[in-house]
Amino acid sequence: MAPMHKQLSPAEGLWSMRRLPDMDAAQFQQWQKLLEHRTGITLSEERRSFLETNLSIRMREIGFSSYQDYYEHIVSGPEAIREWSVLVDRLTVQETRFFRDPDAFRLVADYVLTRPRERFRKGPLEAWSVGCSTGEEPYTLAITLNECMSQLGLQPLFGVTGSDISQPALIKAQKGRFSARSLQGMDEDLRARYFRPAERNTVDIVDSLRERVCFARLNVLNLDRVPMQGVNIIFCQNLLIYFRRWRRREIVRKLAGYLAPGGLLVLGQGELTDWQHPSLQRVPSEHVLAWTKRQSNDE
């Protein structure tokens, strides 16, 4: 069904539905190609309605009445770069929450708690959340690492970097303010320790934790440009599902290159199957897809 929007009928003085133009197969294919070329994201035929809905909402906001005209505006219009940034945010930001995958964060905790103590004397622990959206995942990593350091009786020497393609999502993440829904199912003791009440049924993450998390804009097609190395934990969940299989392997191969020896790479279950890397060893787990980076004999 083609997207519709409400319009006041002068004759009846009532709201009625006005049909927006259908997106034909050729138009859908050119939008598919544009998104994949610029972001790597692949939209299947089953997600055509998702694309139509989001495009039509934005088209109404800025006064376009056809998908083709809007496409040409995105590709070569005078505001093309700025408008592309707005659209990417609409198409990529997904709803998330704290401790979305409890098993994965338990694995991270076990990994940290079983590291040799001397490792923490060499320097701070560095973690990276790839595709961090509005910040729930990197802050969850920070909470997990802080709890581990406390349990080990160590100073909280760690830092977390969150990266995402959406600048508006990153701006929200930097503020560290979240709705109560983002905390649903979270342990009450953790909630009391790491959040403070804010306005309109929202909460702020405590400054001591927020200061340990930084954010950067990144398109995963540009992983070669990342100024990072020797990362101890890389967390990349619910991102690879939007890419073709060959590109998933390429992204993970590059992420593996940023891991420190002994470092941990965590993906979403089912995001990568039948894949091996010579420098990675699969973590034995029924519920989490993860690898550690092999260490040489002198490390």
Task: Return averaged pLDDT per consecutive 10 residues of the chain, 299 residues in all.
Answer: 43 46 86 92 87 88 89 89 86 82 96 87 91 95 96 92 93 94 92 94 95 95 91 92 90 95 92 84 92 74
Tokens 């009440």 belong to residue: 197
Q: Who's near 170: CB < 8 A, 6+ residues apart?
A: 132, 135, 162, 164, 215, 216, 217
Separation in Å, CA 121 to CA 116, 151, 153, 154, 156: 10, 16, 13, 10, 11
Structure tokens at 298: 């002198």
What's the rounded Cα separation, in Å, for the pair 253 and 258? 9
pTM: 0.83
281, two tokens: 């060893």
Q: What is the pLDDT of residue 11?
A: 41
Residue 197's pLDDT is what? Answer: 94
Per-residue model confidence (pLDDT) at position 6: 43
